[in-house]
Structure 1
Amino acid sequence: MKKEFGLVLLALFFLSLNAITGAYAVEGDKKQIQKEETNVDKTINLLSEEMDVSGDGKVDTIEINGVQYEEDSSFLKEMILLIKGSNGQIYTAELDSGFDPILKFDDLNHDGIMDIYITIPTGSSGGIAHHFLYTLKDFILTDIGVPDSLMITSEFQNNYKASITIDNTGQTYNFNLISKKKDYDQLGLFVKGKLNEPRELMIDPYSSLKPVIVKDELYGLKGIQQISGAYHADSIAFVESKWFYENGKWNLLDTKVINRDKKAKKSK
């Protein structure tokens, strides 16, 4: 009898334990669901401006909205251009991820209507950013695009020298890097003035691409690209380029290479 009573108590104990475990499991599931619900991506408004970008003489509302990588993060993993047209329609375009977007209005394609120019910093070294250019003329959202970075060929040379050639123009510039001798020798880049092995310089895409007046009081874009040596912080020069939109494309007007210390020497 005692044995049977003990078995009954043991069975009741395991039943109670299962009930408690089940209750905790249900509670845990509820908390997990609540956590997932609070982590659902939320779109936040980053910028909102009013401007006539369609050409009908009425203002449109231009917004940039984004989704944070995580709560309280300044990095936006998604960004969207949203335009509420004066005609009651909504137009959208996907943008890249990044930080703190910048919104400007300039007539960069010279059709008499303000275009939408967006810059999105990436937060990477060198200040590299994404750039977007749109027009909503006649309520048709069109991606005009921006000019590609200059194509630049580069190389280190013996006796602590280097050269670059801007492929777009064929211009070649030479640099004397003797001031960096100690650093380069420690890195093994040169041995007794001789280049240890063939090596290119580091050529960045645009760190800056801004609307400026470039021709006949009309706006274009001025880009700046950094040229670095053995590592990214080893800045050697900057290359400026000016662009003008005409006949449906970006045309290169001018380039200028500036050494960190002085103007680079241009080859004849």
Structure 2
Amino acid sequence: MNAHCGRAKYCKEQAMYNDYARPNMNPPNVVSFARGDVTGDRVPDHVYLTGIMTPGSPFIQQITLLVQDGRSGMLTSVPLRENSGYNPVVFLGDFTGNGVDDILISMTSGGSGGIMYHYIYSFINNTPQLLFDVDVYNEQVQYEVHYQDDYKVKVVSLINHQTYIIDISTKDSGYLDEIYDENGKLKSPISGFVNPLSGLYPVDFDSNNRYELLAYQKIAGRYNADSLGYVLNTLGWLDDRFVLQDQYVAIFGYEGSN
């Protein structure tokens, strides 16, 4: 029995996919499904993510985008560069403003850094076009993180030349004593880092039925578990690509009012 057919919404979609899948001892399953017009003909299409389930584990391999044209029934399969992970999800929404749904694919890598893989495809006229590639984003959006005297950490965003200062004076004394002398001076230079993309969320900030993207990246200090905050980037479609619109740094609070 299909692992998902206890969930009613998946049963019909899995049966339709089985007509397409070739016989296999361990055939792909439908792991996420959405319905909407992605081809631009005003007829709703069926959009699937399929993958090979791992027995006894939520890990899924060979995750593939599969689109069934609502008018013709034609099936188009699109392989993904990063095609293994956890909790793959497909979301449909208009990101470019042309009135046609695009396809957002998200999955978790499962690593300790909380890194996620994201892709956005346009599928007009049954032709897949990659609009957002997580690898391209991670290459283009770079940061520098350096500890400063007086219990400060400087975060520099290289893409837009913005600098942010994080006050870490509220961290516990054991942490600070390892880094600073009694006068608040660094004992030695320390650099941190910003993780690759760890979350990409569709948000219609302007309430105009056109989605923007909200991207999360964790700021880490001496090691990955040493979280200092998050960089939040908002991205919007301009001409033929997503561009940075706004950028914020979110930090953690602390107990007490002093």
Shared fold (TM-score greater than 0.5)?
Answer: yes
CA change 1:118–1:172 in 2 (3 A) is: same
8 Å CA contact retained: 2:217, 2:230: yes
8 Å CA contact retained: 1:184, 1:230: no
Is 2:175 the counterpart of 1:184? yes
Matches within 5 A, 1:1-268: 40-68=25-53, 70-85=54-69, 86-95=71-80, 96-146=83-133, 148-149=137-138, 150-180=141-171, 182-185=173-176, 188-192=178-182, 193-215=184-206, 217=208, 218-261=210-253
- Cα deviation 1:207-242 (Å, max 9, x = unaligned): 221111235723211111111222323221211111
In the TM superposition, residue 41 of structure 1 has moved relative to its aligned partner by 4.1
Residues in 1 aligned to 2:206 and 2:159: alpha-carbon distance in whole angstroms: 20
Structure exhibiting the larger radius of gyration computed from Cα positions: 1
Paired amino acid for 2:147: F
Q: Secondary structure of 1:261's match?
A: coil
Aligned-pair identity (%): 26
In the TM superposition, residue 54 of structure 1 has moved relative to its aligned partner by 0.5
- Cα deviation 1:106-147 (Å, max 9, x = unaligned): 100111101111111122234321111111111211111147
In the TM superposition, residue 60 of structure 1 has moved relative to its aligned partner by 1.7
TM (normalized to structure 1)? 0.75
Residues in 1 aligned to 2:167 and 2:34: alpha-carbon distance in whole angstroms: 48
Task: Indicate the residue corresponding to 1:265 in structure 2.
Answer: none
Residues in 2 aligned to 1:171 and 1:239: alpha-carbon distance in whole angstroms: 12
Structure 2's unaligned 5+ residue stretches are 1-23
Residues in 2 aligned to 1:258 and 1:153: alpha-carbon distance in whole angstroms: 16
- Cα deviation 1:130-173 (Å, max 9, x = unaligned): 11111111121111114714321111123332101111221111
In the TM superposition, residue 76 of structure 1 has moved relative to its aligned partner by 0.9
Paired amino acid for 1:82: L
Q: Secondary structure of 1:83's match?
A: strand
8 Å CA contact retained: 1:237, 1:258: yes
In the TM superposition, residue 185 of structure 1 has moved relative to its aligned partner by 4.9
Residues in 2 aligned to 1:175 and 1:111: alpha-carbon distance in whole angstroms: 40
- Cα deviation 1:156-215 (Å, max 9, x = unaligned): 1233321011112211111222223523356x4344444343221131122221111235
Structure 1's unaligned 5+ residue stretches are 1-38, 263-268
Residues in 2 aligned to 1:167 and 1:215: alpha-carbon distance in whole angstroms: 27
Residues in 2 aligned to 1:207 and 1:216: alpha-carbon distance in whole angstroms: 25
Paired amino acid for 1:232: N
Paired amino acid for 2:157: I
